[in-house]
């Protein structure tokens, strides 16, 4: 359900929120179409070292962005201040506390329909099961066009298809929210995905902890902090 539009930022969520972390937002046109097309030309070549072991619990066929496409990593870095500002605005956090922990390219292939583990051994994967990320916030930027490059695919939330995305749009959500990738039935789907975390003080951590636990009771949060201890040394 579309809640509001603010320029190129679309904000989606239920009419009644338990927590702002239920919101899903889309920054339209974060990457220009020409950038997406150039990225696809490189990703479809033979130079990318696709991996299947970088994410242990929910593995994907992926490659770290800074290794696979350094120039695209630079382009994303140039857009990052605005993206972090959007995340801060939507979820009510200070953008200065946000940092990008990881960015990577993911390939989904509709030409194979076997079991998930077997697909990964063959270096192919059609979709991704429903799961939670270990990050506070996550984002997905499609590089392919769902009406031209593949059939099926797309990010789902609680089993339902998320907002429609054009190449270069950036979908932002809380990583602890249940989500997945609908299988691609034909063609190939390429996306850039990222994990964003934040550094906050003790009051902010407690408030965030309460909100995260509304989405995921098992969310790993802690209100511990370091305490300086003065040690007296007895001279003999």
Name the burial class of residue 204, with classes exposed (0-12), middle (13-18) and buried (19+) by CB atoms within 10 angstroms of its CB: middle
Distance CA 36, CA 141 (A): 10
pLDDT in tens, 109-145: 988 655 554 455 556 888 999 999 989 999 999 999 9
What is the pLDDT at residue 124? 82
Per-residue pLDDT of 168-208, as tens digits, reads: 999 999 999 999 999 999 999 999 999 999 887 656 667 77
Pick the CATH number of 2-12+20-213 from 3.40.50.300, 2.60.120.620, 3.30.465.10, 3.20.20.70: 2.60.120.620
pLDDT for 1 beyond 50? yes
Domains of the chain: which residue ranges?
A: 2-12+20-213
In what helix (H) or strand (E) does residue 73 lie, and over which residues does it extend?
helix 70-91
Work out the number of other CB atoms within 10 angstroms of the CB of residue 13: 17
């Amino acid at each position: 359900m579309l809640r509001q539009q603010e320029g190129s930022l679309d904000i989606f969520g239920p009419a009644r929120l338990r927590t702002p972390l239920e919101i899903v937002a889309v920054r339209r046109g974060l990457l220009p179409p020409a950038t997406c097309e150039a990225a696809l030309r490189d990703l479809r070549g033979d130079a990318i070292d696709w991996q299947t072991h970088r994410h242990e619990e929910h593995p994907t066929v992926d490659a770290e962005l800074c290794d696979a496409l350094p120039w695209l990593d630079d382009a994303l870095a140039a857009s990052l201040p605005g993206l972090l500002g959007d995340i801060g605005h939507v979820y009510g956090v200070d953008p200065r506390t946000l940092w990008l922990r990881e960015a990577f390219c993911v390939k989904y292939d509709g030409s194979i329909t076997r079991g998930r583990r077997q697909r990964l051994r063959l270096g192919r994967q059609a979709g991704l099961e429903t799961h939670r990320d270990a990050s506070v916030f996550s984002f997905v930027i499609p590089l392919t066009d769902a009406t031209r490059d593949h059939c099926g695919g797309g990010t789902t939330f609680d089993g339902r298809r998320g907002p429609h995305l054009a190449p270069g749009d950036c979908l932002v959500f809380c990583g602890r929210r249940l989500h997945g990738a609908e299988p691609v039935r034909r063609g190939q789907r390429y996306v850039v995905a990222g994990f964003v975390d934040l550094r906050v003080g003790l009051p902010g951590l407690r408030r965030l902890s309460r909100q995260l636990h509304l989405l995921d009771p098992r969310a790993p949060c802690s209100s511990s902090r370091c305490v300086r201890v003065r040690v007296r040394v007895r001279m003999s």
